[in-house]
Amino acid sequence: MAKSSSLNVRVVEGRALPAKDVSGSSDPYCLVKVDDEVVARTATVWRSLGPFWGEEYTVHLPLDFHQLAFYVLDEDTVGHDDIIGKISLSREAITADPRGIDSWINLSRVDPDAEVQGEICLSVQMLEDRRGRCLRCHVLQARDLAPRDISGTSDPFARVFWGSQSLETSTIKKTRFPHWDEVLELQEMPGAPSPLRVELWDWDMVGKNDFLGMVEFSPKTLQQKPPNGWFRLLPFPRAEEDSGGNLGALRVKVRLIEDRVLPSQCYQPLMELLMESVQGPAEEDTASPLALLEELTLGDCRQDLATKLVKLFLGRGLAGRFLDYLTRREVARTMDPNTLFRSNSLASKSMEQFMKLVGMPYLHEVLKPVISRVFEEKKYMELDPCKMDLGRTRRISFKGALSEEQMRETSLGLLTGYLGPIVDAIVGSVGRCPPAMRLAFKQLHRRVEERFPQAEHQQDVKYLAISGFLFLRFFAPAILTPKLFDLRDQHADPQTSRSLLLLAKAVQSIGNLGQQLGQGKELWMAPLHPFLLQSISRVRDFLDRLVDVDGDEEAGVPARALFPPSAIVREGYLLKRKEEPAGLATRFAFKKRYVWLSGETLSFSKSPEWQMRHSIPVSHIRAVERVDEGAFQLPHVMQVVTQDGTGALHTTYLQCKNVNELNQWLSALRKASAPNPDKLAACHPGAFRSARWTCCLQAERSAAGCSRTHSAVTLGDWSDPLDPDAEAQTVYRQLLLGRDQLRLKLLEDSNMDTTLEADTGACPEVLARQRAAAARLLEVLTDLDRAHEEFQQQERGKAALGPLGP
């Protein structure tokens, strides 16, 4: 049995932020932090006091996380970024409502005394001697303390309070990982029993010392179970100050999903019910367990359920049958072919998620070259007269401003210069489209033709059903927001965003096969119409060739991964540090290298075309962690710790361009190496330089790591491996939400058949099958309830959780 924990986080927008620039505006962005790990950074919204981000992240977490924080900062291209404010959400606040948090929250001032992180290791004994009771506090070490000095380190010392007495340890300079190993003894004074409080402080030569955190233990704890181990540092107990809206507010959506994932055999009956649904005859579609699950799922839960179901059926080799089952149900209840798959039904969401899961490498191959050109060339394009900046050319040349007509002609040429290669890449990609996608589209094509055989529907419906998914739900959204499809590491600036919007609108019009050209409010798109109409005939031919594929379904072979282990899941240029640079300055020890990551190897070369590659087997990876900026005086550095056949550890240092790229590489490497045995529980976040570790100052290269590793912290994305048990647990959780509905609506006595038939239009035979399916689902839920209760009893029977481990 295992536990899983993940946070769904959406940074929506801000409002009424204070102006930080002389222009009376700000350039805000948001950092998302889980405990002491920065997991995401939004794009910067330039010149805005009410920024809209709309960025969403799924963060897989360790089970013992405590706090989620959002920091809003103003980006400063010269000097340090200014902190505007923050929001802190405790684990308890997030879980108070099962639906999570979706609200505006006022930003609070960032109080240095509240910005604590890290842990302290203590061993406490209560002793008796001739003078009375004595408390012996062994202060061993601390780790991951907050940096308080400009160098990115601190000068920490500990202060121990018991009753009216206090003692201090020595101060250890320039480290966030101090090792004291000092024993402090305090004699009990007359009076009531006192708690033990240990405070950490950063010593300052000038000015007051800076608070680093504290721990406190009650007299009862000291007497019954004296502290022994690692303990998380806490701020001084005080209510977080609400600025009253003076710093603005942030709208966030947060939901914590925690699950106990049972052994596979517990989910087998549920899996069998779902598999039977898609393998049964078409006439039983409306009365299958899967049909009931679809009816019980509310709109806001459909996307998550669709993703889990697609992964479940992919893992069984039955994704094609699953999609065909949903397609049959969707077309059967659609009367107007023009509305087919236009709603956010389970069928639409499942096909959309299927394309993302199976077709992301295909999408990258088709779109990435042109998207990269748009970002790099930064050409100004605009067709809407209301948005044209005619004075722009005057600012960048001395030839004077263009007229509106000249601007339109210039923009039209640039747009078609990008659209042409996009259309060429799409229509020429039949052979590169994954076979599973082509088979799914072939089945969709056949079902639509069977449902709408009339001559007036033949021409467009069979194409629109496919192009509606491929163009409107796959290519166009990826062009509009490349970062969400991993085509870029950063969101576009406002000018590039506008160019991408125009390109996405054009691709949507092509996907609609020109049905709405010349209609609506966007008549200013008319200059593009000749190009779009010319492209439509090519797209029809492309769709005909796309569905002309042999085979009717997958082989039905179970799979544990969406892609073969050799498939590249991430690649790009990074800076790689030489293993043992001799005589080189730190900055020059890093060399630009092209890096590939697959499920099997992490490879390096001078360029993508270079034939010679150096590779590290992924199976050798034991840790993937951030590196303190002070280790090399460089930001965004990570380390990959590997173990060779002799057991020796080796570290490869890689520098990324920005924090988002760093998070993505950390996540990809951690997920690729997740199955590896003997993972390190701790490592050094510094580097071994000048005969000592820069983090903890230890002089032995082989010294044990001073910081906890974060192998459980990853970002969810399309390359996540299949996990049938976790996915089945999600389906079980969704069924739990609808259990009462199942009982009320579908398990009435047989004498209610007449009423139900009148209300639903279903015949008694269908109602009987629905009741039978509901009964089987409820039986499965009861068995899973029982299994979860047994698991909870085992947990309660274990010893109470001790202090934090290594």
- Secondary structure of 497-545 in HEC code, one letter for each residue: HHHHHHHHHHHHHHHCCCCCCCCCCCHHHHHHHHHHHHHHHHHHHHHHH
Checking if the pLDDT of 31 tops 80, the result is yes
**pLDDT score, position 463:** 85
> What pLDDT, on the 0 to 100 scale, is given for residue 760?
47
200: Cα within 13 Å, side-chain hemisphere: 38
Output DSSP code: residue 341: T
Place 759 in a pLDDT band, splitting at 50, 70 and 90: very low
Q: What's the pTM? A: 0.79
Q: CA-to-CA distance for 804 and 795, rounded, in angstroms?
A: 17
CA distance 562 to 722: 7
Q: How confident is the model at residue 285 (pLDDT cuts 50, 70, 90)?
A: low
Mean pLDDT, rounded, of the chain: 85
Going by pLDDT thresholds of 50, 70 and 90, the confidence category of residue 738 is: confident
Residue 73: strand pairing partners? 29, 83
Domains assigned to the chain = 2-108+244-256 (2.60.40.150), 119-232 (2.60.40.150), 348-547 (1.10.506.10), 568-716 (2.30.29.30)
What's the rounded Cα separation, in Å, for the pair 786 and 97? 25
Q: At what angle do helices 346-377 and 299-315 cross, to 10 degrees?
A: 90
| Confidence label for 749 from pLDDT (cuts 50, 70 and 90) | very low
Hey, what are 384's tokens?
Answer: 């809407």
User: 629: which 2 tokens?
Assistant: 């900026």
3-state secondary structure 761-797: CCCHHHHHHHHHHHHHHHHHHHHHHHHHHHHHHHHHH
CA-CA-CA-CA torsion sign (267, 268, 269, 274): positive
Look up tokens 């409306």; give the residue: 286
Q: In Å, what is the CA distance from 789 to each residue of 96, 368, 738, 796?
A: 22, 49, 20, 10
Spatial separation of the C-alpha atoms in residues 164 and 174, rounded to whole Å: 31
pLDDT higher than 70, residue 748: no
Work out the angle at residue 610's Cα, subtended by the Cα atoms of residues 609 and 616, and round it to the nearest 5 degrees. 115
Residue 353: which region, alpha, beta or left (left: phi > 0; alpha: psi -120 to 50)? Answer: alpha
Q: Is the pLDDT assigned to residue 470 strictly greater than 50? A: yes
Using a pLDDT cut of 90, give the percent of the chain over it.
44
Residue 44 scores a pLDDT above 90? no
| Contacts for 799 with CB less than 8 Å, ≥ 6 apart | none
Alpha-carbon distance of 560 to 316, in angstroms, equals 9
pLDDT for the residue numbered 371: 96
Out of 233-247, 510-524, 604-618, which region has the weakest mean confidence (pLDDT)? 233-247
pLDDT, tens only, 287-317: 788 888 888 887 667 888 888 899 999 888 8
pLDDT value at 513 more than 90:
no
Helix (H, G, I), strand (E, B) or coil at 253: strand
pLDDT band at 240 (very low <50, low <70, confident <90, very high): low
Average pLDDT rounded to a whole number, residues 666-679: 90
Tokens of 758: 């009148």
Phi, psi (rounded to 5 degrees) for 210: -100, 135
The C-alpha atoms of residue 617 and residue 326 are separated, in whole angstroms, by: 41
Mean pLDDT for 406-435 is: 93
CB 221 within 8 A of CB 89: no
Closest CA to 706 of 212, 197, 176: 176
HSE, CB side, 13 Å, CA atoms: give it for residue 298. 8
Q: How confident is the model at residue 152 (pLDDT cuts 50, 70, 90)?
A: confident
Tell me the C-alpha distance between 308 and 301, whole Å: 11
Mean pLDDT of 725-753: 75
Residues 302 and 344 sit within 8 Å (Cβ to Cβ): yes
| pLDDT recorded at residue 745 | 63
pLDDT at 284: 64
pLDDT score for 539: 93
**3-state class (DSSP) for residue 107:** coil
- Using an 8 Å Cβ cutoff, are 200 and 233 in contact? yes
Can you give the pLDDT at residue 756? 44
The separation between CA 336 and the C-alpha centre of its own chain, rounded to angstroms, equals: 38
Place of tokens 């604590």: 116
As to burial, measured by CB atoms within 10 angstroms (0-12 exposed, 13-18 middle, 19+ buried), residue 77 is exposed
Helices (H) and strands (E) in the chain, counts: 20, 28
pLDDT tens for 245-282 read 789 999 999 999 888 888 889 999 999 999 988 887 76
Query: Across the beta sheet with 621-627, what order do the strands follow?
Result: 614-617, 601-605, 590-598, 568-577, 649-655, 637-643, 621-627
Q: What is the pLDDT of residues 771-788, one digit of tens each?
A: 888 888 889 999 999 998
379, exposed or middle or buried, with CB in 10 Å at 0-12, 13-18, 19+? Answer: middle
Q: Which two tokens stand for residue 798?
A: 């274990």
pLDDT tens across 690-704, in order? 889 999 999 998 899
| 787 contacts 259 by C-beta, under 8 angstroms | no
Cα distance between the two ends of the chain: 22
Mean pLDDT of 535-544: 93
d(CA 323, CA 664): 31
Band of residue 799 on the pLDDT scale cut at 50, 70, 90: very low
Spatial distance between the Cα atoms of 437 and 422, rounded to a whole number of angstroms: 20
pLDDT surpasses 60 at 761: no
Model pLDDT, residue 746: 59
Closest CA to 168 of 786, 178, 486: 178
156 DSSP β-pair partners: 202
Distance CA(404)–CA(401), nearest Å, equals 9
pLDDT at 519 over 80: no
How many CA atoms are closer than 13 Å to the CA of 261, on its beta-carbon side? 14
CA-to-CA separations, 734 to 301, 681, 788, in angstroms, rounded: 8, 35, 15
CB contact at 8 A, 299 and 344: yes
**pLDDT-based confidence at 711, cuts 50/70/90?**
confident
3-state secondary structure of 73: strand
Q: How confident is the model at residue 805 (pLDDT cuts 50, 70, 90)?
A: very low
Cβ proximity of 435 and 554 under 8 Å: no
Cα 165 from Cα 186, distance rounded (Å): 7
Residue 241 has pLDDT above 70, yes or no: no
Measured distance CA(783)–CA(790) in Å, rounded: 11
Contact 745, 694 (CB under 8 A): no
Decide which of 687 and 561 is more confident: 687
pLDDT at residue 115, rounded to an integer: 84
Radius of gyration of the chain (CA): 30
Residue 678 confidence (pLDDT) above 80? yes
Tokens standing for 207? Answer: 């000015």
